[in-house]
Amino acid sequence: MRIALSTGGGDAPGLTAVIRAAVLTAIGRGWEVLGVKRGFAGLLGEDDVVSMTRDSVRGIAHLGGTILGTTNRGNPFKWPKRQPDGSFLELDRSGEIIVNARQMGLDALIVIGGDGTLAIADNLADKGLRVVGVPKTIDNDVAGTVTTFGFDTAVNTALEAIDRLHTTAASHDRVMVLEVMGRHAGFIALHSGLAGTADVILIPEIPFQLSNVCDKIIARGKAGRHFSIVVVAEGAAPKGGEEATMGPSMPGQDRRVGGVATRIAYEIQQATGKETRSMVLGHLQRGGMPTGYDRLLATRFGGAAVRAVEQQRWGHMVALQSPHIVTIPIKDALREPKRVDPSHDLVQTARQIGVSFGD
């Protein structure tokens, strides 16, 4: 047996542990393992394919980052090709991948990636490539699995930031607005905010009104709590037409800079008169050593992916359905995106202890 590993999209804490476990498990079965560098580009002849040995994966499980490189360079079904006039044409190069995989003598490909990468993997499986998927999303927005590696580390990184902001907010009677990852799903904001006893949590799934946020802050002041912590997912958005009024109110503000936290902080300060500061956590959430939870889950995913290859579960991905790792059809996982359910006990508990979602 000869298998290959490929990763797509950004790095995630635990990615190296997936690779290590998959390589060691496959080698333990006497298989040969290749590492495809830089995503699908590596299968289109643009980059190296390297041999993966025990030595390749020594001492890497506790490190962040990836040893295969990552890429957002493209979808082989719509591969960008620059035209003479500078514009891009989209080519379907998926057939080349099938051919290349055959020429490389690959018996199977393990693809580690988020919903975009998994969708491509599924399409390649439909065309006959023997593919098994491993879900990878820091935002926790892939369905069919309780969670995936990287999410726990990101939550703890955000939580540590909340703890730090808490002491300085309380000392200075300030409102601190922390922006965390989550363009479409608010899990990081919800989990870290609730664990960190934030006063306000704003997520994409629950549109907010700034007046409600300010009311909460003012009410706290009346109760003798002169500081507040607001945790906001990058994709959180105000209700209805409110956004139109949010944007321009901060003079000279460029949307790309600072994002939603900066604007919300500005509005809160204007409306409440309280000194308000914002902080964008950004790339800190992707880096660093993975937590125990993530290292373990990643290790289980890596081992399970090789077993799924053995069982010829093509077009399936590994998933956590506590306490077991299972395999499910990638199509099932991608049927609809995973989002925070506003009726989930997490939201319910948060509301009951006084957290405002701004709605």
Q: Which residues are catalytic?
A: 139
Among 51, 87, 103, 322, binds a second copy (CB under 8 A): 322
Binding to a second copy, residues 150-189 (CB under 8 A): 152, 155-161, 163-168, 170-173, 176
The size of the chain, in residues, is 359
User: What's the CA gap between 317 and 312, in Å, rounded?
Assistant: 11
Please say which residue, 238 or 303, places its beta carbon nearer to a second copy.
303
**Is 286 one of the binding residues for a second copy (CB under 8 A)?**
yes
- CA atoms within a 13 Å half-sphere pointing along the CA-CB vector of 311: 14
Q: For residue 196, state whether it binds a second copy (rule: CB under 8 A).
A: yes
**DSSP letters for 118-134:** HHHHHHHHHTT--EEEE
Among 109, 268, 280, 319, binds a second copy (CB under 8 A): 280
Question: Nearest Cα to 90, choosing from 101, 82, 98, 100?
Answer: 82
Choose the binding region for a second copy from 122-130, 207-215, 228-236, 348-356 (rule: CB under 8 A): 348-356
Instruction: Determine the interface stretch with a second copy among 77-85, 90-98, 233-241, 299-307 (rule: CB under 8 A).
Output: 299-307
Using CB under 8 A as the binding rule, the residues of this chain from 5 to 24 that contact a second copy are: 10-11, 17, 20-21, 24
Nearer to a second copy, 39 or 235 (CB): 39
Q: Given the complex with a second copy, which of 61 and 203 has the nearer CB atom?
A: 61
Rounded distance, CA 293 to CA 109, Å?
Answer: 26
* Interactions with a second copy, residue window 77-136 (CB under 8 A): none
By CB under 8 A, residue 73 contacts a second copy: no
In angstroms, rounded to a whole number, what is the distance separating the alpha carbons of residues 180 and 202?
10
Cα-based distances in Å from 143 to 35, 118, 146, 250, 330:
27, 12, 8, 37, 10
Least distance to a second copy from the beta carbon of 10, Å?
Answer: 7
Binding-site size, a second copy (CB under 8 A): 84
For a second copy, the binding residue among 73, 104, 126, 293 (CB under 8 A) is 293
Cα(166)–Cα(227) distance, integer angstroms: 9
- Restricted to residues 42-61, the positions that interact with a second copy (CB under 8 A) are 59, 61
**How far apart are CB 290 and a second copy at their closest, in Å?**
8
Report helix, strand or coil for 54: coil
Binding a second copy (rule: CB under 8 A), the pick from 83, 324, 336, 343 is 324
Contacting a second copy (CB under 8 A), which of 75, 269, 276, 299? 299
Contacts of 117 (CB under 8 A, 6+ apart): 8, 9, 39, 111, 136
| Sole binder of a second copy in the list 5, 42, 70, 314 (CB under 8 A) | 70
Angle (nearest 5°) at CA 229 between 205 and 217: 90
Residue 31 as a binder of a second copy (CB under 8 A): the answer is: no
Shortest distance in whole angstroms from residue 93 CB to a second copy: 22
| Interacting residues with a second copy between 250 and 269 (CB under 8 A) | 250-254, 257-258, 262
Q: Using N-to-C axis directions, what is the helix angle for 15-28 and 292-310, rounded to 10°?
A: 40
- Residue 329 CB-density burial (10 A; 0-12 exposed, 13-18 middle, 19+ buried): middle
Contact yes or no for 163/312 (Cβ under 8 A): no
Cα–Cα distance measured from residue 318 to residue 353, given in angstroms and rounded to the nearest whole number: 36
Closer residue to a second copy in complex, CB, 95/273: 273
What minimum distance in Å lies between the beta carbon of 95 and a second copy? Answer: 28
